[in-house]
Amino acid sequence: MRPFGTGALGRVVRAGVGRRRVQTVVIAVATLMAVASAVVAGSLMVAAAAPFDHAFGKQRGAHLTAQFDPAGVSAAQLAETGNAAGVTASSGPYPSTGFRPVDRTGFRLPTLTLVGRSGPDGDVDRVELRSGRWPRKPGEIVLAASFEGPTIGIGATLRTSDTTDAATLSVVGFAVSAGESADAWVTPAQVGALASEGNPVTSQMLYRFDSASTTEQILAGRKRLAASVAPGALLGTQSWLDTKRAADQAAAATVPFVVAFGALGIAMSVIIVSSVISGAVGTGLRRIGILKAIGFTPREVVRAYVAQALIPAGAGIVLGVALGNLLAVPLLADAEALYGTVSLSVAWWVDVAVPAAALVVVGLAALVPALRAGRLRTVEAITVGRSPRTGRGRWAQRVMGLLPLPRPVTYGLATPFTHPVRTLAVLLAVAFGTVAATFAVGLTSSLTAIGNSQDPESRAAVTVTTTGLNDLAPPPPPPPPAAGGETGPSPVDGGAADPSPVDGGEPRPSRPRAADPAKVRAAITSRAGTGSYYGKTRTEVAVAGISGSVRAGLYEGDARSGSHAMIDGHWITGTGQVVVPTRFLERTSTEIGDTVRVTYEKETVDLRIVGESFDTSGGELEIHADMANFASAEPDRFLVDVKPGVSADRYAREISAVVRPLGGDATTNARSGQEGTILIMSATAVLLTLMLICVAGLGVLNSVVLDTRERIHDLGVCKAIGMSPRQTVSLVLSPVAAIGAIGGLIGVPAGYALHHLVMPVMGRAAGTGLPSSVLDVYGPVQLLLLGLGGVVIAVLGALVPAGWAARARTATALRTE
């Protein structure tokens, strides 16, 4: 059986596809781009949701993990909180504390949240044992699965501190908590023995709510729990939404902008397919009449024109699926690293659903003009042929003739009014192309601003350290979490060895503090070229209510030059203050003005949150505070700005000669490069934008080709009365340039609005708000040039048919009917 019914119908379809090569290419490219974007977006959305949701549901993870002060509320009272309004299930109370064990190599792990549980099961947070067994007696411990490695396995021993007489714990298993309720588990009786002055015992409760899908619902549940116990008894909480966001954000942050490009591509494909088929109907009236005269039914005519759209669309869809899978590979690789053992690939149903939906969209877009072709009367179609209706656009000719412009230009400017539907399609294609260009420029500028804000220390001209620079390398990132999103340990600045044993590397000795910070500070202040400086150390602290340790930047002196971009509030100006990222506020259910309890070594202080910082460090939390809050804290580096006219390289060499004998070092700073994820996102945005612009240009090309073919006889008359090739080009390009200008005026504001809509969504997906420096990236000159981009897109699309019209011979044009 023929694919399109009778043999005659199949020949008509194939002839139409082969004869209209420009229209065929336009439809194929438009659908290719739309399908590729949709495949990438769908793949990322699946990758961002499926692994964590599956693990969390299977384990009945805690919607809220709460820490209580046992001195302020009894175990019986805590158990009664499980009956609070909105609570559907609870587990606990479990004794909990923080401690820093040391492995057999001498590596001191970061502060772990240790919980005492008699077994892994419970109504909430059914911990999954990956290997080994649960602790049965004191002296045994189960660690989070991310700690398992060459130096820590079943049977390995951990010392409870770095003292020679420290007690030991035997590792008997590795487990996973989807909600990250703890980093390690022991028997309940063991917790008290492992607690210390700086890490007292608290009571952990785990809750599931009937409604916990939004931050507001979690906050409401937290308020009800806080009201059910004595004031101050609730020390802190951790929301499952933050854990989910940390697990999902590597892929989720890319989804909004890919979805935006996909939506633009789908809209453009609908416009262009409709325009192409409508143009084919308009220019093929005589052919339609002949087909009907020889026996084709209206239904067969409709099928023929829909098929002429579906054939190139089918080719574009196949190529689009292949391209989408290729584009998804690097983004899914990032997500796979995030989820650890979960293997991620493009879901099979995405490769099926997207092409099916694309075929439906193309078919519907082609159906409306095809129905028009089917309804045409045979005599009318043959009589009218390719000529536009008498009188259409005459008023525009008269109005344009009054303009003080060359006659070829005014004649050309009236052309769009002859085919208003086709003109509207060109206008929308140019507008969407300008939207894509404007959005892409804003997106890449915002991503660049994000990259530049990631390393405030690089703004200083010189870094002077209290130890050798090789010993003061920044800590490596934590190992990728396993399914469920649990995070592993990360080495600690200023004390722990690198790399982490879970990475399989040989640990180096703990970094010595060979130089006295006071002597290094004195050497800096005595230099004539010193402009300003501040001291800093990066370490780990414990924060009430947060599982595990939290990275902290402690600053000495005026550190405004090294401040992070602020979303709200202000940078630290003195003691008693702390600046925290958005994720911290969400995880602890706090806001600016609240107080949090922070423990550094054996010192515990209450700090007031004064600012919300812009932090792109992923799942890691880093807070910022004044070093004077902790008497034992000392800077391990000084960030120095030199005076105007002073060479940073020379200053670094001179200061290095002074501090090296003390055990320190100095070097000049270089701006940090862009992260791989940002580069991938920028490259993807540029690629998709170029595809959209190409589609917009092809849409213009298709329209101008149709117009030029329809008016070839008129062009021959104009050439016969003396119109030069240059004037012919201006006649063809002038209406297109006017449409491009209007499209730019529409597209630039729309692209601006799209950028300000998508960027905050990307920020929320990454677990942070956005500062004004990331959002306000457009300048007046830039917006003006982007507006002219509409003219450029339109003119470039029309150059080929304009050149063909200019080269056409007068006699050939006059003979064309």
Domain assignment of residue 767, yes or no: yes
Q: How far apart are CA 468 and CA 665, in angstroms?
A: 5
Greater model confidence, 754 or 331: 754
Q: Which residues contact 43 (CB under 8 A, 6 or more apart)?
A: 324, 325, 328, 331, 332, 346, 347, 350
Q: What band does 51 get if pLDDT is binned at 50, 70 and 90?
A: low
Query: Which residue(s) pair with 98 in the sheet?
Result: 113
Checking if the pLDDT of 770 tops 60, the result is: yes
Q: What band does 484 get if pLDDT is binned at 50, 70 and 90?
A: very low
Contact indicator for 75, 380 with CB cutoff of 8 Å: no
Greater model confidence, 816 or 757: 757
What integer pLDDT is reported at residue 268 of this predicted model?
73
Q: How many CA atoms lie within 13 A of 494 on its CB side?
A: 20
| End-of-domain residue from the set 668, 686, 710 | 668
| End-of-domain residue from the set 368, 386, 404 | 386
CA angle 510, 511, 512 (to 5 degrees): 110
Q: Which residues contact 781 (CB under 8 A, 6 or more apart)?
A: none
Domain assignment of residue 80, yes or no: no
Q: What percent of the chain has pLDDT over 90?
A: 17
Q: How far apart are CA 226 and CA 126, in angstroms?
A: 25
Query: Which residue(s) pair with 507 in the sheet?
Result: none
- Whether residue 585 is found in the same domain as residue 648: yes
- Whether residue 557 is found in the same domain as residue 619: yes
Greater model confidence, 180 or 151: 180
Checking if the pLDDT of 513 tops 50, the result is: no
Q: How far apart are CA 770 and CA 755, in angstroms?
A: 13
What integer pLDDT is reported at residue 498 of this predicted model?
34
pLDDT (mean) for 199-206: 89
pLDDT (mean) for 769-773: 85
Contact indicator for 35, 360 with CB cutoff of 8 Å: no
Pair of tokens at residue 812: 């050939």
What integer pLDDT is reported at residue 105 of this predicted model?
62
Q: How far apart are CA 512 and CA 453, in angstroms?
A: 30
Nearest to 599 by CA among 546, 649, 654: 546
Q: How far apart are CA 728 and CA 422, in angstroms?
A: 21
Which residue range is the domain that position 550 belongs to?
458-668
Domain assignment of residue 250, yes or no: yes
The reported pTM is: 0.62
What integer pLDDT is reported at residue 338 of this predicted model?
44
Q: How far apart are CA 70 and CA 715, in angstroms?
A: 92
**CA of residue 639 relative to chain centroid, distance:** 31
Checking if the pLDDT of 196 tops 90, the result is: no
Beta strands at 603-613 and 577-581: parallel, antiparallel or unpaired: parallel
Cβ neighbourhood burial of 458 (10 Å; 0-12, 13-18, 19+): middle
Nearest to 791 by CA among 729, 743, 727, 726: 743
Place of tokens 């879901």: 347
Q: What residue type is 240 in one-letter code?
A: W
Contact indicator for 170, 157 with CB cutoff of 8 Å: yes
- Whether residue 661 is found in the same domain as residue 681: no
Instruction: Return the SS3 of 498.
Output: coil
What sign does the dihedral 359-360-361-367 (CA atoms) show?
positive
Domain assignment of residue 582, yes or no: yes
Cα–Cα distances (Å) from 588 to 425, 592, 784, in that order, read 52, 12, 45
Checking if the pLDDT of 221 tops 80, the result is: yes
Pair of tokens at residue 594: 């609240």
Q: What residue type is 398 in one-letter code?
A: R
Q: How far apart are CA 214 and CA 586, in angstroms?
A: 11
Lowest-confidence pick of 183-197, 282-296, 346-360, 731-745: 282-296
Contact indicator for 132, 164 with CB cutoff of 8 Å: no
What sign does the dihedral 804-806-811-814 (CA atoms) show?
positive
- Whether residue 664 is found in the same domain as residue 701: no
Q: How far apart are CA 510 and CA 501, in angstroms?
A: 14
Greater model confidence, 424 or 335: 424
Q: For residue range 672-731, list pLDDT tens digits in order.
A: 544 556 766 777 778 778 877 887 887 788 788 877 777 776 777 777 777 788 888 888
Cα–Cα distances (Å) from 706 to 36, 250, 284, 405, 710, in that order, read 28, 46, 11, 25, 6
- Whether residue 801 is found in the same domain as residue 706: yes
**What is the number of domains present in the chain?**
4
Cα–Cα distances (Å) from 532 to 146, 465, 600, 641, in that order, read 42, 16, 28, 5
- Whether residue 487 is found in the same domain as residue 420: no
Q: How far apart are CA 471 and CA 474, in angstroms?
A: 9
pLDDT (mean) for 781-806: 87
- Whether residue 184 is found in the same domain as residue 300: no
Q: Please state the length of the chain.
A: 817
Q: How many CA atoms lie within 13 A of 658 on its CB side?
A: 17
Q: What band does 608 get if pLDDT is binned at 50, 70 and 90?
A: very high
pLDDT (mean) for 265-283: 71
What integer pLDDT is reported at residue 488 of this predicted model?
35
- Whether residue 685 is found in the same domain as residue 663: no
What integer pLDDT is reported at residue 410 of this predicted model?
77
Checking if the pLDDT of 47 tops 80, the result is: no
Residue 457 DSSP one-character state:
G
pLDDT (mean) for 157-163: 80
Domain assignment of residue 305, yes or no: yes
Q: How far apart are CA 638 and CA 466, in angstroms?
A: 8
Q: For residue range 543-578, list pLDDT tens digits in order.
A: 987 877 888 999 998 888 888 889 999 999 989 999
Q: Which residues contact 360 (CB under 8 A, 6 or more apart)?
A: none
- Whether residue 687 is found in the same domain as residue 763: yes
H helices of 340-419, in order, are 348-375, 378-384, 394-401, 407-413
What integer pLDDT is reported at residue 19 of this predicted model?
67
Concatenating the DSSP letter of every residue in 169-233 gives EEEEEEEE-TT---SEEE-HHHHHHH--SSS--EEEEEEEES--SSHHHHHHHHHHHHHTS-TT-
Q: How far apart are CA 128 and CA 134, in angstroms?
A: 10
Domain assignment of residue 514, yes or no: yes
What integer pLDDT is reported at residue 750 of this predicted model?
93
What integer pLDDT is reported at residue 749 of this predicted model?
95
Q: For residue range 303-313, list pLDDT tens digits in order.
A: 887 888 788 88
Q: What band does 345 get if pLDDT is binned at 50, 70 and 90?
A: low
Of these ranges, 28-37, 669-678, 785-794, the one predicted with the greatest mean pLDDT is 785-794
Domain assignment of residue 714, yes or no: yes
| End-of-domain residue from the set 668, 700, 732 | 668
- Whether residue 244 is found in the same domain as residue 321: yes
What integer pLDDT is reported at residue 811 of this predicted model?
61
Q: Which residues contact 177 (CB under 8 A, 6 or more apart)?
A: 59, 61, 125, 127, 128, 144, 484, 486
Of these ranges, 276-285, 443-452, 493-502, 531-540, the one predicted with the greatest mean pLDDT is 531-540
Task: Round the average pLDDT of the chain to a whole number and report it.
Answer: 78
Checking if the pLDDT of 174 tops 60, the result is: yes
What integer pLDDT is reported at residue 474 of this predicted model?
38
Cβ neighbourhood burial of 758 (10 Å; 0-12, 13-18, 19+): buried
Contact indicator for 51, 339 with CB cutoff of 8 Å: yes
- Whether residue 571 is found in the same domain as residue 475: yes
What integer pLDDT is reported at residue 617 of this predicted model?
64
Q: How far apart are CA 483 and CA 650, in angstroms?
A: 50
Q: How far apart are CA 366 and CA 581, in angstroms?
A: 50
What integer pLDDT is reported at residue 65 of this predicted model?
92
What integer pLDDT is reported at residue 84 of this predicted model?
87
Q: How far apart are CA 195 and CA 161, in angstroms?
A: 11
Instruction: Return the SS3 of 773.
Output: helix
Instruction: Return the SS3 of 651.
Output: helix
- Whether residue 379 is found in the same domain as residue 443: no
Could you list the beta-strand ranges (E) of 512-613.
530-543, 550-556, 566-569, 577-581, 595-600, 603-613
pLDDT (mean) for 601-627: 85
Checking if the pLDDT of 1 tops 70, the result is: no
Checking if the pLDDT of 270 tops 90, the result is: no
Place of tokens 């101050």: 232
Q: What percent of the chain has pLDDT over 70?
A: 79
Q: Which residues contact 278 (CB under 8 A, 6 or more apart)?
A: 368, 369, 372, 421, 422, 425
Checking if the pLDDT of 433 tops 50, the result is: yes
Q: What band does 381 get if pLDDT is binned at 50, 70 and 90?
A: low
Instruction: Return the SS3 of 813.
Output: helix
What sign does the dihedral 808-711-290-270 (CA atoms) show?
positive
Q: For residue range 69-121, list pLDDT tens digits in order.
A: 998 899 999 999 988 888 999 998 999 988 878 777 666 677 788 999 999 88
What sign does the dihedral 447-558-651-656 (CA atoms) show?
negative
Q: What band does 534 get if pLDDT is binned at 50, 70 and 90?
A: very high
Greater model confidence, 164 or 249: 164
Checking if the pLDDT of 220 tops 70, the result is: yes
Q: What band does 748 get if pLDDT is binned at 50, 70 and 90?
A: very high
Domain assignment of residue 800, yes or no: yes
Q: How far apart are CA 625 and CA 606, in angstroms?
A: 11
What integer pLDDT is reported at residue 89 of this predicted model?
92
Q: Percent helix, strand, coil in the chain (nearest 5)?
A: 55, 15, 30
Q: What band does 370 get if pLDDT is binned at 50, 70 and 90?
A: confident
Checking if the pLDDT of 481 tops 70, the result is: no
H helices of 648-724, in order, are 648-659, 676-710, 712-720
Lowest-confidence pick of 313-327, 398-412, 767-781: 398-412
Place of tokens 């600690």: 492
